[in-house]
Amino acid sequence: MPGRGGSADHGPGTPGHPVTVYWAEYAWLPDGAAERVRIDVVKGRIAAVAAGVEAPADAVRLPGLTLPGLANAHSHAFHRALRGRTQADRGTFWTWRSQMYAVAETLTPDSYYALARAVYAEMALGGITCVGEFHYLHHAPGGRRYADPNAMGAALVAAAADAGIRITLLDTCYLAGGIGTPLEGPQLRFGDGSAEGWAARVAGFSADGRARVGAALHSVRGVPADQIAPVVGWADEHGAPLHVHLSEQPAENEACLAAYGVTPARLLADHGALGPRTSVVHATHLTDDDVKLIGGSSTWTCACPTTERDLADGIGPIRTLFDAGSPVSLGSDSHAVIDLFEEARAVELDERLRTGVRGHWPAPELLRTAFAHDSLGWPDAGALAVGARADLVTLAVDTPRTAGFGRLTAAETAVFAASAADVRSVIVDGRPVVTDGVHVTVDVGRELAEALR
């Protein structure tokens, strides 16, 4: 088992830092799929990679296709409580939102910890090694402060640690119910009063080496224009990621144009909020000028197609944004589905439905969107390469979905055929989290059921 140390006759281990040797039947390396790949891990990092070699006797064997860890760049953990429920009576965006608020009303730091731990463990089962949690459920009902004003965020950080994955807590500034409308009812739990109040609360938060704190603006609906710059300033000062929901629904664009005379993307650009540390989430309803602003500033686009599908948001110009210079990441967002392979293929398949043409994205490019840790502030993850964090996700290639696998079409199988249920083994920072398709510490189905009861 990993951690016991290995002999590694030519491994780079030093006394006190034993090598764990893995041997992957197939592995997705930076230049494509390789066979018979030895991966040496020391102190949670990849120390050596060699393809085309036989398995050392003491190696941990990884049958199937081993990928880098998957990054879920946009999550609201508590939305998992809505899966399979909000579609009753057909469901609209507004019935979904009122049910989402009803869930938000009930959570405490303890119950949120239990729910999030099970949700993050579900993510781990699907090969997700790092989550970007877009967190705005800060306060007690009515907006009352907890004794620790970051108790809810701390619960999420603890939940990720106990589920075995890394987290970037994207602490969200959420000040208004709409442009010119105060927070009310269930929304009072989200508010810090001002960007300054938000920053003062976040300053009291500490995270360890497997958790990071980033910033988020809920949206141009949730943050008045004059409160954007202080949040951007905090992110700049801390070199932290900054995420923001952008133009998910046409109504947001209409309200923004009416209030400010510009699109949401232009408003963000005018307040310094776009750039290579920023991710715009959804980016569904954009003008050509918006695309130029986002692409030209190397701002990330975080696509969440299964949520956009469920909420009838529409299909964003993801390929056009990518071609304009915006790197793309993926998020399961509302968790109607937690399966980054499904998100990756949806980016292509939705584009096919929109255009009537196939073949917008090569499969390796789509696969890379699932490995994109940079937008969460972890540039040292997401590749099977020397020096990278040892996140190893192994897909079985003998399941009903993946049987017939071949090395030359490895990416196509991963993107267009595999599902989260085909993940057999997950190692995060060199620690085994999923073995033989089972989470090593969390009974995921049972704990989800208990948390959702």
d(CA 183, CA 314): 27
- Scanning residues 324 to 343, which ones bind Zn ion (CB under 5 A)? 333
Do 127 and 70 contact (CB within 8 A), yes or no?
yes
In Å, what is the CA distance from 107 to each residue of 24, 71, 110, 276, 444? 42, 26, 8, 34, 19
Catalytic residues: 282, 333
148-167: contacts with Zn ion (CB under 5 A)? none
Residue whose beta carbon is closest to Zn ion: 333
For 346-355, which contacts have Cβ atoms below 8 Å and span 24 or more sequence positions?
346/305, 346/306, 346/309, 347/303, 347/305, 347/318, 347/319, 348/415, 350/305, 350/309, 350/315, 351/315, 351/318, 351/319, 353/315, 354/315
Torsion of CA 416, 422, 425, 428, to 10 degrees: 50
Ranges assigned E (strand) in 254-338: 278-282, 300-303, 328-330
If the CB atoms of residues 338 and 427 are measured against Zn ion, the closer one turns out to be 338
Minimum CB distance to Zn ion, residue 334 (Å): 7
Amino acid in position 369: T
Per-residue contact track with Zn ion, 33 to 72, x per CB under 5 A?
A: ----------------------------------------
C-alpha 434/C-alpha 284 separation (Å) is 34
Q: How far is the CB of 119 from Zn ion (least distance, A)?
A: 14
Residue 304 or 388: the one with the smaller Cβ distance to Zn ion is 304
Q: Which pair of structure tokens corresponds to residue 111?
A: 């119950």
Q: How far is the CB of 221 from Zn ion (least distance, A)?
A: 12
**Nearer residue to Zn ion within complex by CB, 308 or 351:** 308
Q: Which residue has the tokens 């969440």?
A: 304
- Find the shortest distance in angstroms from Cβ 302 to Zn ion: 9
When the beta carbons of 165 and 246 are compared against Zn ion, the nearer one is 246
Q: How far is the CB of 30 from Zn ion (least distance, A)?
A: 30
Per-residue binding string, Zn ion, 180-219, x by CB under 5 A, is ----------------------------------------
Residue 319 CA to residue 327 CA, distance in Å, equals 10
What is the number of other CB atoms lying within 10 angstroms of the CB of residue 229? Answer: 15
Q: Which is nearer to Zn ion, 192 or 313 (CB)?
A: 313
Q: State the residues that interact with Zn ion by CB under 5 A.
A: 333
